[in-house]
Structure 1
Amino acid sequence: MARRRLRTCWSLVGAIGLLLTTGLPAKALVPYVYVPQRQELEGAGMGIAQAAARLLRLGQAGDAARLAALTVQLLPEDPRGWVLLAEAQLRSNQLEQAGISLAKAKQLDPRNPGIWFAEGSLALRASKPSEAINLLEQGLKLDRSNAGAYFDLGNARILLGQSGEALAAFERASSLRKDFWEALNNQGLVLFEQGQNKAAIQRWRQVLGIKPDAAEPTLALAAGLFASGAERRSEALELAGKALDSDPNYVLESYQKEQLWGPKLRSTTQQLLLLGELKPVVDRALANASPEGESSEEE
C-alpha cells in the first residue's frame, strides 16, 4: 500500500514538472494542478520510513539513511523520522550528520529518552565518555528500564577507569534483559581486572550458554582458565583455537584493547597465545586478521 502511494506522488511530481516546462498560450488559463493533501504526504512519509526501517534491520544502513532522508523531507516536524535517520547515519558511520539529526529530533521531542540514549551512544563512539555518561543519565531519568543505555553507560565507565560503577551498570543491563550476553561478557572483563578470576569465568561460561559461537567470551574464558593453573590448560588451548578461528582479529592486542579488554586480561591472553601448541592457529589468525574491518559479532 505504501509503495503504491509513493509511486503516485512521483507521478504527480513528473506531471507538475511537465506543466511548468510546456509552453502555454499567453492568454491561456493555467490548468489546475492537484497538490497532495497533508494526510497523503504523511502516509507517503510513513511508508518510506517503514521501508527504511526494514533496510536498517537487514543491515543496509546506507540505503536506509537515504530513504530516511526522504521521510524527514516529507515529515519535517515528526521526530520519529529524524531519530530513524540518525540511527541509519550512525550505523553507516556518518557521525557528524547523525549528530545534526539527533539535535533536530531533540528540538522536536526533548522528553524522548531514546534521543538522549542515541546522543550518548554517539558521544561514546566519538571517544567522549564523560559527555556520554551525562547524556545517558539524562535519558535514564526518563526511562529507567533501557538495558542498552545501561550497557553503554558501563562502557563509558570502563573508559574512565570506574570499574565498580561499570560493573553495576552491566549488572543492571543483564537484569533487564536476560539474554543480554554482551552485558554478561563485559561483567567478566571488569571482574577479571579486579582479580576475581573465578567470578569472571562463571560469567563467560554463562555467556557461552546463550551465545556458544561468540569469539570474544570464548577467548576471554580461555585466558581465565589459563590463569587458573596447569590443570585447565587443555581446555584453554581448545577454546583459544576455536575463538581465533571464529574471529582472527582477537589475536591482536590492539583489537582486544578496542573491545575494552583491560591490561591484565590482554597480558594473560598474550601469554596464552605464545604457547607452542597454538602457533599454527595464531599464525593463521595473524594472516587473516583485518582490524580495520568490522568484527563478525556485535559488541
Structure 2
Amino acid sequence: MPKTAQAQALIPHALQLDTAKLEKQGLGLAQEAAQLGQFQQFELALPRAKLASQLAPRNDKVWFLLGGLQLQTKNYDAAIASLNQAKSLNPKNADVLFALGSANFQQKKYAAAIENYQAGLKLKPKDPEGLFDLGNAYYMVGRLPDAIAEYNKAVAQDPKFWPAINNIGLIEYEQGNVDGAIKRWRTAVTIDKQAAEPLLALAVALYAKGDRQQGVTLGEAALRIDQRYGDLDFLKENLWGDRLLSDTKQFLELPRIQAALEQRETPR
C-alpha cells in the first residue's frame, strides 16, 4: 500500500476536539472580557468575547456579553445579531430583551424598542431600569402620559431611582408646569447630590423664573460635577425638550457659567 495511507489515517485524530474543554476555555475568556468591559477596556474585551462565543456557541450568557460589549461600542447591527442569538438560546432572559430594546432605541427605532422593552417587562415586570427605558421610548414617540406612567412605576419599585423623577420633570417643564418640574428636580438632587443633570435643570428653571443668584450658583455646582451637561447636544441626547434647551442656551451664555465651563481639572 502507498505510504501516504498512514498519513491519511491520522487526519481524523487531528479533528477530534474536546468540546467540553473548549467550552470551559470559552467561559474563561468570557469572564476576562466581562472584567475588562467593566473597566471600559473594550478593545481588549471584544476579541475575547468573540472568541468565547466561538468556543461556547450554545451559551446564551456569552452571546449576551458579546452583544452588550458591541452595544457599548455602538456597533448596533452586530449587537442585535449577538443578542438575537442569545435570545434564541434563552427566550426567557429579560435582560437580553432590554438590551435589544436599547440597541433599537440608540438607532431611533422606537417602535421596535418599545416592543423589546414590553417583552422584557412581561418576564421581569418590576425592573426599574426596564420601566424607565420603556418610559423613555414612549417619550420619544410623544406618548407622554404613558411615559410618565412608566417613570412612576420605576420610582414605585425603587424610590431612589432619580433618573425617572428627573425625566418626569423634563416632561412637566415642556408642558409649562415649571413649579412641578422644579419640585421633581429638587427631589432628584436630594436623592443624589452628585447628580449633575437634575441640578443643572433646577438651576436653569430657577434662573428663568427669576431666582437668578441661586440659579447661577447651582449651575456652577452642576458643571463642576460634570461638564458634559454644558453641551446642548449632550442635553438633547438626554431627552431635554425644546423649551428647556432654549432656556439652557441663554443660561450657558452667562459670564459666570462660561467661566465655570472654561475651568478644567488640573493634573495632580
Taking structure 2 as the reference length, the TM-score comes to 0.86
Q: Distance in 2 between matches of 1:27 and 1:216?
A: 72
Q: Distance in 2 between matches of 1:56 and 1:133?
A: 27
Q: Which residue pairs with 2:238 in the alignment?
A: 259
Q: Does 1:84 align with 2:65?
A: yes
Aligned with residue 261 of structure 2, among 248, 269, 285: 285
Q: Deviations over 1:98-153 (max 9, x none)?
A: 11111212222223222221111101000111221112112212220222211111
Q: Does 1:190 align with 2:190?
A: no
Q: What letter matches 1:282 in structure 2?
A: Q
Runs of 4+ with deviation above 4 angstroms: 24-36
Equivalent position SS for 1:244? helix
Is contact 1:225–1:235 with CA below 8 Å preserved after alignment?
yes
Q: How many residues align?
A: 260
Q: Which residue pairs with 2:34 in the alignment?
A: 53
Q: Distance in 1 between matches of 2:105 and 2:124?
A: 19
- Structure 1 residue 97: deviation in Å? 0.9
Q: Distance in 2 between matches of 1:59 and 1:236?
A: 35
Q: Distance in 2 between matches of 1:132 and 1:59?
A: 25
Matches within 5 A, 1:1-299: 30=10, 37-229=18-210, 232-274=211-253, 278-282=254-258, 285=261
Q: Distance in 1 between matches of 2:37 and 2:233?
A: 30
Is contact 2:216–2:256 with CA below 8 Å preserved after alignment?
no
Is contact 2:196–2:223 with CA below 8 Å preserved after alignment?
yes
- Structure 1 residue 154: deviation in Å? 1.3
Q: Distance in 1 between matches of 2:115 and 2:10?
A: 57
Q: What letter matches 1:250 in structure 2?
A: Y
> How many percent identity over aligned positions?
37
- Structure 1 residue 242: deviation in Å? 2.1
Is contact 1:42–1:74 with CA below 8 Å preserved after alignment?
yes
Q: Distance in 1 between matches of 2:158 and 2:40?
A: 23
RMSD over aligned Cα, in angstroms? 2.6
Q: Distance in 2 between matches of 1:244 and 1:114?
A: 33
- Structure 1 regions of 5+ residues with no counterpart? 1-23, 289-299
Q: Distance in 2 between matches of 1:69 and 1:202?
A: 47
Is contact 1:62–1:89 with CA below 8 Å preserved after alignment?
no
Q: Distance in 1 between matches of 2:54 and 2:171?
A: 45
Taking structure 1 as the reference length, the TM-score comes to 0.77
- Structure 1 residue 238: deviation in Å? 0.3
Equivalent position SS for 2:239? coil
Is contact 2:98–2:130 with CA below 8 Å preserved after alignment?
yes
Q: Distance in 2 between matches of 1:66 and 1:220?
A: 40
- Structure 1 residue 221: deviation in Å? 0.6
Q: What letter matches 2:175 in structure 1?
A: Q
Q: Which residue pairs with 1:20 in the alignment?
A: none
Q: Deviations over 1:34-76 (max 9, x none)?
A: 9553332232222221111111222223322221111111111
Is contact 1:248–1:286 with CA below 8 Å preserved after alignment?
no
Q: 1:41 to 1:267 in 2, by over 3 A?
A: same
Q: Deviations over 1:147-171 (max 9, x none)?
A: 2211111111111122211111112
Q: Deviations over 1:195-223 (max 9, x none)?
A: 22223222222222233222211110102
Is contact 1:249–1:285 with CA below 8 Å preserved after alignment?
no
Equivalent position SS for 1:144? coil
Is contact 1:191–1:200 with CA below 8 Å preserved after alignment?
yes
Is contact 1:49–1:71 with CA below 8 Å preserved after alignment?
yes
